A and B are shown apart, each in its own frame.
Chain A
């Protein structure tokens, strides 16, 4: 045990022991400990295995910046235990090893793998033979990485996303941040402070006196009404003051009038052989262990430093009985050759200018780098301060302020370039990705001599620390190797998240908007199999035999829920004239109480939607549109009227009204059972639109026939849909009513040769080549939308035609199947089904116009071979339309 006797100002509460397990063994810490400090106090020194070489790694920063302490906690991988508060019962395990954390069998890659794993090795050493790549990949994925996810795991923890608004968001709860927050709160502003550490206080928490100062500031902030969040991660700075914060299982989306960045500095490692050994750490790590957690981290230490931070660490260590064997202040002694040497991956001695000094702790301090990433994300420029040897932010965006050390005020200038002269291997620049100075120089020699290219090739800065501990040093290596100055080399683009966060938090709670008709539960109660149609849930069918379900409509009575159809009210003195402008055909002459089919074309004359239009009053039209096109048609109408300023209004009633199609030979009788209105052939003619009452509900009934039988499409308020549906089924029970779904409907409409827009048409389809020239009315006063382009098609001659076809052999091509003429692709099948009523395979296809004659023949690829099809012009079923008009 390395826990010291109680010390004034320590964070831990020794009256509250906390138990947890590490690899199944029960250990104990105290309230106030982090998991990392509790493990360290119990004697654990190896915390992880490095990404590529599986080198043992120990605590290095104790500030949540590096990746050395990542462990799996309660099943969640890659948790930085140095900043994670200890909790009762936590289950902690190491990750990325084979065997044990102490004796990882994969460490052989460190000994043997070097020649095989240079930068970009997966493009070089594991690329041939190519067919073995799946095997290589499996091995490499298993050999390298961080904590594994359970591929079969499901979402286990609840996450919530919460929107908050605040006057001031302060990112960084160190001294500068807390003081800025207190000042803002005392000025009457609402303030939140976000800090990644286990508590607010920042660098103060490493200093024995600073701990008390931090506590005072904390108390003042709370009294001023400041909200303190720690540990919490500011994911990025976005436009308009948006600062998303990861706070446990909450994603807090703050919108702030002002953002104050007080993210401080990141202590930088020195680059020398063995700088990643267990027991080599940054000054704040040593000081936090001593001052915050009352831990004696070693027996004998060597301090290597370019600034006073190392000296402060030496003083704190000495105060608790650590022998300071040597202090190397590079401001005074130049750059002697340095090499840390270890045993079993843990530091045992350090060579300084050729002289060996035994030590079980090495404190290394490079120039502290302002933690500018969030400012850079927000648009600040970054420049190299040659005097201090660090990058500092400049030119902050309007709503963003910076206070404290992040501004570049890091104290006296340090040794500008603490890349120490060395001979030998394993001088780590990027600890996360196991990249050394040799690797970076290798990449430069291969031509990856820009920092952005190098990043992508070597993966430096792409690990969990996201460049905090490696970016500046990598640029220094580049500068030293290429002779180009650091400012010219520049930095890589800073992107959120600034600190890794879980995908689950970004995904938020699972919620999938889906639209339901007001008959949804009736469909399910009646055995409907639901399917997606755009954002809607609709019944595919109600049983296994869709052919029989379709046939039932022909021979008895079927009901289908068509509530998803777009329904747009167009009303006003110019309503008719407006529709004449947007449709190719004419509606201003449509009589009140009648319907007419219409197809909408865009500016380029391409078909965009279709539907039936009913005139319900002199100045009011009821326009139907496709289910997935409803919103687009509504927008189309409003957009064009914003240009024309006609006296017309629009209302999208798609969800307000339910719609049911009652179809079949028994349809008339069924309607008479639920309505006193006249549904006779004379009283309610084909294509009429009537205001009726059905089961006590005022209803707009349209006598139209999409499915080829006598039918009535009923439109009424959605909340009354179940009542109307139930009433028809009840009152017409002896007429054998059955529901039918989308799939039988598709068969039925195909039997009539009816087109489904976006199924049988695409973005190039026009009225002429979709066999609808009869819709084109060029004698209207106004140039209707798409007129010119449609005329161009007629003028240049038709190349294609949408036609019906039968399959004499019974072969069923797939939809999209290729039409083949003279061995070449010459069109495609758009729809195809087997009709149980007709006993044949029928469909629609786009074919060369010259083949579009009744009885004409073409081939379609079926299972790789041409299958003959026969052109059939007109409806397959009831060509004269006697049934729909009965």
Chain B
């Protein structure tokens, strides 16, 4: 990504002049209202646990919007590995998601491809547990993964990850999709969880 586009990158923010930038997700307030415990991870305020999450064994809804996200054009060769998710949106576009700690190493593998840091563009919501599929079916008709389409009446994408699903949507709609996911989960005995409660550990 050229220097001219550095203003797109959440990762480029740094301590300077006494300022300590911390990024927050579009779902931050909803989780704070639930009494979530936050930790600063990779420059983000991340909800690591939410009161009552231990009861949400049927299905858990977690905010993993802090994942680094790069859009590559053309898609080209997949960038894969532990902690990295490759999602070819089309032959000409791909989305790479990874933990913030892996951001630099992923960027190094982009090569000559045009890339955009779209970390701040998307909210990502994880749906995990035995009833995860039912929750997803109550949000969208998408049933082949990964795929994009209408989710809760807005456009988004669904990937299969971590034994469950990741729902990716525009960040300005993140709060709304979260609300829908939590609502659907509540009817099935599930609810919000922190990232540390995700199977396989935090994203």
A residues contacting B by CB (< 8 A) are 158, 160-165, 253, 255, 509, 511-518, 520-521, 536, 569, 571, 616-617, 620, 649, 651, 653-657, 674, 676, 691, 693, 695-700, 715-720, 722-723, 727
Contacts and interface: CB of A to CB of B under 8 A. Distances in A.
Nearest to A158: B187
B140 A163 contact: yes
Contact of B172 (A162, A165, A517, A697): A517
Contacts of A512: 176
Contact of A717 (B8, B14, B173): B8
Contacts of A518: 24, 26, 171-172
A656 B7 contact: no
User: Most B CB atoms within 10 A — which of A616, A718, A719?
Assistant: A719
Contacts of A515: 170, 172-173
Contacts of A511: 152-153, 176, 179-180, 183
A716 B6 CA distance: 9
Given A162-B138, A654-B172, 8 more contacts: A518-B172, A569-B5, A653-B121, A676-B16, A697-B19, A717-B13, A719-B23, A720-B120
A653 B69 CA distance: 13
B26 A516 contact: yes
A517 B7 CA distance: 18
Nearest to B184: A160
Top 10 nearest A-B pairs by Cβ distance?
Answer: A656-B121, A719-B23, A617-B4, A717-B120, A696-B19, A696-B16, A515-B172, A163-B141, A695-B19, A655-B172
Contact of A160 (B7, B19, B25, B187): B187
Contacts of B44: 719
B21 interface: yes
B22 A616 contact: no
16 contacts: A160-B184, A161-B138, A165-B143, A255-B141, A569-B116, A617-B2, A654-B172, A656-B120, A656-B171, A696-B16, A698-B7, A700-B7, A717-B119, A719-B10, A720-B21, A723-B24
Contacts of A654: 172
A19 to B, nearest CB: 28
A657 B26 contact: no
B180 to A, nearest CB: 6
B143 A651 contact: no
A620 B5 CA distance: 9
A655 B177 CA distance: 15
Contacts of A719: 10, 23-26, 44, 65, 119-120, 171
A17 B186 CA distance: 33
B82 interface: no
Nearest to B118: A656
B109 interface: no
Contacts of A165: 143
B7 A716 contact: yes
A649 B73 contact: yes
A616 B13 contact: no
Secondary structure type dominating chain B contacts: mixed
Given A518-B171, A657-B120, A696-B19, A513 B152 contact: yes
Nearest to A675: B17
A617 B114 CA distance: 15
User: Most A CB atoms within 10 A — which of B12, B172, B183, B184?
Assistant: B172
Contacts of B140: 163
B4 A691 contact: yes
B175 to A, nearest CB: 6
A569 B115 CA distance: 12
A676 B71 CA distance: 31
Nearest to A521: B29
Given A160-B138, A162-B134, A651-B71, A616 B5 contact: yes
Nearest to A658: B120
Nearest to B175: A516
B34 interface: no
B141 A696 contact: no
A655 B21 contact: no
B11 to A, nearest CB: 9
A695 B21 contact: yes
Nearest to B71: A651
Nearest to A693: B16
A524 to B, nearest CB: 9
A697 B21 contact: yes
B172 A720 contact: no
A716 B5 CA distance: 10
Contacts of A160: 138, 184, 187
Given A161-B138, A163-B143, A649-B114, A696 B13 contact: yes
B23 A717 contact: yes
A595 B173 CA distance: 30
Given A158-B187, A160-B187, A656 B8 contact: yes
Interface in B1-53: 2-10, 12-17, 19-26, 29, 44
B101 interface: no
Contacts of A569: 5, 116
B19 A674 contact: yes
Contacts of B152: 511, 513
Given A511-B153, A513-B153, A518-B26, A697 B13 contact: yes
A163 B141 CA distance: 5
A163 B176 contact: no
Contact of A164 (B23, B26, B137, B179): B137
Given A160-B187, A717-B119, A718-B171, A723 B21 contact: yes
A790 B7 CA distance: 37
Contact of A514 (B134, B141, B171, B176): B176
A566 to B, nearest CB: 12
A651 B116 contact: yes
Interface string B95-118: 000000000000000000010101
Contacts of A691: 3-4, 6-7
A838 to B, nearest CB: 36
Contacts of B141: 163, 253, 255
Contacts of B175: 516, 520
A165 B22 CA distance: 43
Contacts of A649: 73, 114
A328 B194 CA distance: 74
A585 to B, nearest CB: 23
A576 B18 CA distance: 39
Contacts of A656: 8, 118, 120-121, 171
Contacts of B143: 163, 165
A377 B180 CA distance: 33
A723 B10 CA distance: 12
A253 B143 CA distance: 13
A655 B171 contact: yes
A520 B65 CA distance: 17
Interface string B162-182: 000000001111011001100
A831 B187 CA distance: 48
User: Most A CB atoms within 10 A — which of B8, B71, B141?
Assistant: B8
A518 B141 CA distance: 29
A645 to B, nearest CB: 13
Contacts of B24: 518, 719, 722-723
Contact of B6 (A161, A513, A676, A698): A698
B111 to A, nearest CB: 17
B137 A657 contact: no
A674 to B, nearest CB: 7
Given A162-B137, A616-B5, A720 B23 contact: yes
A715 B7 contact: yes
Contacts of B19: 674, 695-697, 723, 727
Contacts of A164: 137
Contacts of B170: 515, 655
B144 to A, nearest CB: 10
A620 B8 contact: no
User: Most B CB atoms within 10 A — which of A164, A515, A617, A674?
Assistant: A515
Nearest to A563: B172
User: Most A CB atoms within 10 A — which of B21, B25, B29?
Assistant: B21
